[in-house]
Amino acid sequence: MTSPSPALPDLTPAQRTEVELLARGKAEKSRTLRDLSQPETPEAAHTLLLRLGVWDETRTPYADRLGAALQDVALPVPDFASEPRLDLTHLPSFAIDDEGNRDPDDAVGLEDLGGGLTRLWVHVADVAALVPADSPLDQEARARGATLYLPDRTVGMLPDAVVERAGLGLHETSPALSISLDLDADGNADAVDVHLTTVRVTRLTYTQSQERLEAGEEPFVSLARLARASRELREGEGALSIDLPEVRVKADEHGAAVLPLPKPEMRSVVQECMTLAGWGAAIYADDHGLALPFATQDAPTREVRGDTLPAQWARRKTLGRTRFQPAPGPHHGMGLDLYAQATSPMRRYLDLVVHQQLRAHLTGGEALNGKAVAGRVAQAGMNADATRQAERLSRKHHTLRFIAAQPEREWDAVVVDRRGPQATLLIPDLAFDVPTSTPAAPGTALKVRLEGVNLPLLSVRARVVG
């Protein structure tokens, strides 16, 4: 016989509020849980609230616990000021994103220079024109660190009005900060430059741009050729290629969905163009003595060969965290001698700092010194870390909802690592890993059932069935 479940306690509104504060990480103790002989932990409080029906499985407390902002920014946004800009509206430019993207902040285009040179233009929304350093909008963005992307909602680092005014392709023409790299056929850069521009941008999804590439249309064919050449050069300098499954997690009150992320070639083409833009911005800043939050990364701790899932898993573990500092240094994971993230100023605060510094130089304004940039790195980095962790935990929560809704499903899994009797299984359809006990060697394909989902503990058990 199984023991009966303990009766649900009848809590007063005040007691429920007390338990909720602990579950949200806003209190460290709960007399109510102590009186119920329960651990005074956020997880125990979460469990009780689920049992009582005060919360349901859609509730994710992680952003609240970590102190990530959950309210939209309500500050006013100025209009673009009239200022000299290089007119590039005659050059076709394309903002290529996932379907449903609502904040288009970068676009690419090509210009044939003759003599075997092609100018790659990477246009980025000129957010710094609306958000100058130390303005109220800048201070709020710094306090958030990054836009918070949850499976069921998005909380912007900046007001929606910034996206509406600065988003590329949302109007007939757009102001931009544009980074240019003059590339030869082998992907070598002959020159880099940065301009304030006006551009005309067409928005496309990755699927649409891939169709144009496969149809042999320009500039997509040339973009792909240059991207391949650039990637080969970086790999020759030690850049690491890591290809692990990726998914998008979506959720609402009706359920959760985990959708594999397609990887058409145009996705890697755009990523390579953004990498080149960051390299170009770093070179330009270094040439002109500008302090930026330069991104650096130590060399891998060891070399891992092969393209299997266990090899990709192990290779990722050899990389240290990217660090940001006001002086340039090598980014070994990218195979670059210097680099700065520069293409997402709507979504990442340190990208916005890059733009503010470049814009100050271009307009004759006063740029921040290295000490001031280091201070911004410290403050925004801590806040962005909380945002990224909240995103990771929330995605795991809703992935577990998706799993729990299919209790009889058998999932394909691959052993990607093992430590003694314990193995790590990767489930490609979920981009989700789970520990289990199995003698199977790394690389072994298995069938598993996922059982015992526990949302408060963010845990699930894997049982090998084949």
| Within-domain flag for 357 | yes
How far apart, in whole angstroms, are the C-alpha atoms of residue 418 and residue 405? 29
- The mean predicted confidence, pLDDT, of the chain is 95
How far apart, in whole angstroms, are the C-alpha atoms of residue 234 and residue 249? 31
The answer to whether residues 294 and 160 belong to one domain is yes
pLDDT over threshold 90, residue 161: yes
- Residue 424's CATH number: 2.40.50.140
- Consecutive H or E run containing 361: helix 349-363
pLDDT digits over 218-244, tens only? 999 999 999 999 999 999 999 998 999
State the average pLDDT over residues 281-293.
98
| Within-domain flag for 400 | no
The answer to whether residues 25 and 116 belong to one domain is no
pLDDT digits over 403-458, tens only? 999 999 999 999 999 998 899 999 999 999 999 999 999 999 999 999 999 999 99
Largest CA distance in the chain: 84
| Within-domain flag for 351 | yes
pLDDT (0 to 100) of residue 1? 35
CA-CA-CA-CA torsion sign (271, 272, 273, 278): positive
Q: Closest Cα to residue 427, out of 409, 452, 453, 405?
A: 409
How far apart, in whole angstroms, are the C-alpha atoms of residue 136 and residue 146? 16
pLDDT (0 to 100) of residue 4? 46
The answer to whether residues 107 and 51 belong to one domain is no
The answer to whether residues 338 and 433 belong to one domain is no
| Within-domain flag for 222 | yes
Reported pTM: 0.94
How far apart, in whole angstroms, are the C-alpha atoms of residue 103 and residue 154? 11
| Within-domain flag for 438 | yes
Q: Closest Cα to residue 191, out of 205, 202, 179, 177?
A: 179
pLDDT digits over 65-97, tens only? 999 999 999 999 999 999 999 999 999 999 999
Q: Which spans in 36-135 are helix H?
A: 42-52, 62-66
The answer to whether residues 119 and 237 belong to one domain is yes
The answer to whether residues 241 and 184 belong to one domain is yes
Residue 369 tokens, joined: 């010194």
pLDDT (0 to 100) of residue 2? 41
How far apart, in whole angstroms, are the C-alpha atoms of residue 25 and residue 43? 10
The answer to whether residues 348 and 203 belong to one domain is yes
The answer to whether residues 227 and 292 belong to one domain is yes
The answer to whether residues 168 and 45 belong to one domain is no
The answer to whether residues 39 and 172 belong to one domain is no
pLDDT over threshold 70, residue 215: yes
pLDDT (0 to 100) of residue 301? 86
Work out how many domains the chain is built from and give that number: 3
Burial 437-461, CB ≥16 within 10 A → b, else e: ebebebebebebbbeebebbeeebe
Burial 90-125, CB ≥16 within 10 A → b, else e: ebbbbbbbeeeeebbbbbbbbbeeeeebbbbbbbbb
Residues spanned by the domain of 279? 86-246+266-378
- Residue 40's CATH number: 1.10.10.10
